[in-house]
Amino acid sequence: MRPVLVLNGPNLGRLGRRQPEIYGSTTHDELAELCRAWGEAAGLEVEVRQTNHEGELLDWLNDAADTATPVVLNAAAWTHYSYAIWDACAQLTAPLVEVHISEPSQRPEVFRHTSVVTPHAATVISGQGIDGYRQALEFIAAKSGD
């Protein structure tokens, strides 16, 4: 099975408790279980990680670059301003899928309308709720079969 990283940025560890009207009621632990199951069904070995520390996410992205590991990335707030995340994503050679639970372009906060991840992503899946992660893993599985 092909390894895949699902990386989640700040505050996503509070899924199920943080603004459920936007992000739903699924917890991060439940999301991780779902991602592993969806990945297994698609022939992927999925590891799910979440951090509130930007440097840790950068280390994970650098490791993914070094090992040519595909990444599903929800960089959360860092999506909109972190040039360090931009640089780390630029080095990835395996597919990168950008995921957002909500639809950032439809959110009232204008800062959410810009992404530093999108220029490096093979595709962007947003506004699909937790199911966006399933779609991202299926995209990577299809790319792995190319």
**CB contact set of 126 (below 8 Å; sequence gap of 6+):** 98, 99, 100, 101, 102, 103, 104, 105, 132
Is 146 within any annotated ligand binding site? no
Report DSSP letters for 54-121, one per residue: HHHHHHHHHHHHHHT--EEEE-GGGGGT-HHHHHHHHT--S-EEEEESS-GGGSS-GGGG--SSGGG-
Question: Which residues are marked as active site?
Answer: 23, 100
CB crowding 90-106: b at 16 or more within 10 Å, else e: eebebbbbbbbbbebee
Contact 119, 88 (CB under 8 A): no
Is 85 within any annotated ligand binding site? no
Is 87 within any annotated ligand binding site? yes
Is 120 within any annotated ligand binding site? no
Residues making up the annotated binding site for substrate are 74, 80, 87, 101-102, 112
Residues making up the annotated binding site are 74, 80, 87, 101-102, 112
